[in-house]
Amino acid sequence: MRANIEDYRHAARRFLPAFAYGYLEGGAENEITYRRNRQVIEALLFSPRALVDVADVRTGVHVAGCTLAWPAVVGPTGLNGLYRHGADESLARQAHLAGLPFALSTASTSLIESVREASGGELWLQLYVQRDRRIAESMMARAQDCGYSTLLLTVDTAVAGQRDHYRRTGFTLPVRWSPRLLLDLARHPRWVAAVGRHGMPQLVNLARSAGIGPDLMQQAAAMSREMDMSLGWQDLAWIRRHWRGKILVKGIQSVADTLLARRHGADGVVLSNHGGRQLDGAPSAFDILPQAVAAVPRSFEILVDGGIRRGSDIVKAVALGARAVLLGRAPLYGLAAGGERGCGEVLTLLRREMEICMRLLGCADVGGLNSSFLLSDHGGAHRREPLERTAA
């Protein structure tokens, strides 16, 4: 096991060709939001309590009707087959072993049914809605038939963000062969042997529900150019007609939209800027988390993602009122660096760091975390006052 998530990131970079690593790591435009995701988390300082019995630390939580061993979900990420063959199945198995749900992306490279066969754990479905809504209806029906419990409706991708790294690395779907790409592959023989020999991963779920064959150009077109840009709040009623389980709206970036999600019947939201890959200059989820939590009742669940790299980051999120975090890049670093075992190591590391943080913070139960355990640096270098004072 490596020392921290950053070490897995470096190992992933060595293993992956530039185009695959760029897809994993890159943000939109000038990557202002991508960097802010980390900056806001790092600016939050702890206010630890002393002489608290932390011999037994309890980390379990209930989210969207599921019992989680610790407050995290292995979140939805697309084209995971770029990093390892059978990536989505590996992520699902390791999430289950860690006591967490796994959320499968619409842009997954493994079938809904195959992921269920690979894991008996809690599975969620992330949904993009195309103009032909029969595709989304098919995906929801297939997932429910396989026992997927929660739907993540992603609403921040009417179009793909401007990602400069695509041009720098030559990333396209389908791949366009060029001397630069061939040189990139020649420099990464381990990736070619482990991943590339299986061919370019396909958007198999989208293809099956859209009735598209193994033509990656058509699949990519269905994913990007045919997104339903007319999707509105009123369409949550349509989603509810086709999904029996919990519905979380993912990609919320304001308190106002948090309130609208609740008003239109969602069970919760995921505050998210898509890992800094969509609108550059958007806020971090942590920027709006305290205000969003204050605006809705506790029964309305708020999750966050973006920039989670330490177990202590999860503690900060929960202390600010998040029910749980979604893990995006971190498990993928582990997957690329060490295959399925590497993914499991990353999840083990994050939970271990979280438990260490809670003990040092003087909080033995994750349910007792609140903002009194934090100091804020948002008001400037000299502001060091607790966000909230409650009885210890």
CA distance 46 to 300: 26
Query: What's the per-residue H, E or C state across the chain?
Result: CCCCHHHHHHHHHHHCCHHHHHHHHCCCCCCHHHHHHHHHHHHCEECCCCCCCCCCCECCEEECCEEECCCEEECCCCCHHHCCCCHHHHHHHHHHHCCCCEEECCCCCCCHHHHHHHCCCCEEEEECCECCHHHHHHHHHHHHHCCCCEEEEECCCCCCCCCHHHHHHCCCCCCCCCHHHHHHHHCCHHHHHHCHHHCCCCCHHHHHHHCCCCCHHHHHHHHHCCECCCCCHHHHHHHHHHCCCEEEEEEECCHHHHHHHHHCCCCEEEECCHHHCCCCCCCCHHHHHHHHHHHCCCCCEEEEECCCCCHHHHHHHHHCCCCEEEECHHHHHHHHHHHHHHHHHHHHHHHHHHHHHHHHHCCCEHHHCCHHHEECCCCCCCCCCECCCCCC
CA distance 330 to 85: 18
CA distance 25 to 332: 10
C-beta atoms surrounding 188 within 10 Å: 19
Clarify whether 85 is annotated catalytic.
no
Q: How many residues does the chain have?
A: 392
Q: β-strand 45-46 against 374-375: which pairing, if any?
A: antiparallel
Dihedral angle computed from the Cα positions of residues 291, 285, 54 and 365, in that order, rounded to the nearest 10 degrees? 60
- Nearest Cα residue to 249 out of 265, 229, 230: 265
Select which of 198, 274, 378, 382 is catalytic. Answer: 274
CA distance 68 to 326: 12
Catalytic residues: 274
